[in-house]
Structure 1
Amino acid sequence: MIPPNSPTPIDLRLERFSDYLSIRLEGDRRMVLGDIRKKWLVLQPEEFVRQLLLQFLIRDMKYNRNRITVERGVAVNGDPKRTDILVFDNDMRPFLLVECKAPKVPLSTDTFRQVAHYNGPLQVPFLMISNGRESYVARIDYSTESYHFLPAVPEW
């Protein structure tokens, strides 16, 4: 669980973006067209959340799709990792790092630690975790080595 002093989770109502996804069957596998990568991907629960969240960022928040990367490689203490969603600002500085989980996966402090660990080399000002049903966003204050939860996703 997220610590009890954290705010109420943000409900982004991601299911409303389902109609924007292109889904097809390939044999016995459901596939979704990745909006950013422009390729067909196996529609796993986590991928479903990722694609819905991308729709939210682009359609509701007006994030520039050309400033969003998906499953971008990053080296963390020499180990290769992949970020779920990384958004860059207009100056191409990392702005928002998102870790997506399947809807059945409860969000926890471990989930937040994971995204914070991936953030080490990136130093983004905003971290987000989401399982599609609940989302949390935190602003990172590097000068005080602290963070605080936000009630909404930051404007781009």
Structure 2
Amino acid sequence: MELLNLPTFDYKLKKNDGKLYIFDELRKKYLILTPEEWVRQHFVHYLIKQHQYPKSLIKLESGLQYNQLQKRTDIQVFDRNGSLFMIVECKAPFVALNQGVFEQIAQYNQVLRSPYLTITNGMTQFCCQTNWETQSIHFLENIPILP
């Protein structure tokens, strides 16, 4: 897997039937190691180790319904009161973080109404704060601190 622009961590890999798997510490199981999963696992550990987000407030691959279609978010972070704080969309390192990626997470947020949105491909990340009253977004320099 490609070296990312995120801190490394002590990941566990195993090979089974010719496929490589990575251990997901939050879900306590091995998952097929795809480029997107590589980014997701690194970003989760980045949130936990660098930003002190508690593991118990992070949920992975949560479903939602958008325009009568079943979709899923890569990462959801909740605040200490149990309210949605941030959603994160992870892409493979070779996927450009363009308007289409941002529109994907913004569509999910029409349903979820999270105050913060983040997109990452492991090389670059963008985070913004949503203002539902003014229907605007404000891009941030850093990942927000969890209250």
The answer to whether TM tops 0.5 is yes
Structure 1 residue 27 displacement after superposition: 2.5
| One-letter amino acid of the structure 1 residue matched with residue 120 of structure 2 | S
Q: Identify which range, 72-81 or 49-58, moves more after superposition.
A: 72-81
Alpha-carbon distance in structure 2 between the residues aligned to 1:145 and 1:35: 36
Structure 1 residue 136 displacement after superposition: 0.2
The TM-score normalised by the length of structure 1 is 0.88
Structure 1 residue 108 displacement after superposition: 0.3
Structure 1 residue 78 displacement after superposition: 2.5
- The answer to whether 1:126 aligns with 2:105 is no
Q: 2:11 aligns with which of 12, 21, 41?
A: 21
- SS, match of residue 111 in structure 2: coil
Percent identity at matched positions? 38
- SS, match of residue 120 in structure 1: helix
The TM-score normalised by the length of structure 2 is 0.94
- SS, match of residue 20 in structure 1: coil
Q: Deviations over 1:68-117 (max 9, x none)?
A: 11001111132211100000001111000000000000100110000011
Alpha-carbon distance in structure 2 between the residues aligned to 1:38 and 1:136: 28
- The answer to whether 1:47 aligns with 2:37 is yes
- SS, match of residue 94 in structure 2: coil
| One-letter amino acid of the structure 1 residue matched with residue 23 of structure 2 | L
Moved over 4 A (4+): none
CA RMSD of aligned residues (A): 1.1
* Counterpart position of 2:83: 93
- Which structure has more relative contact order (CA 8 Å, sep 6+)? It is 1
**Corresponding residue pairs, total:** 143
Unmatched segments (≥5 aa) in structure 2 = none
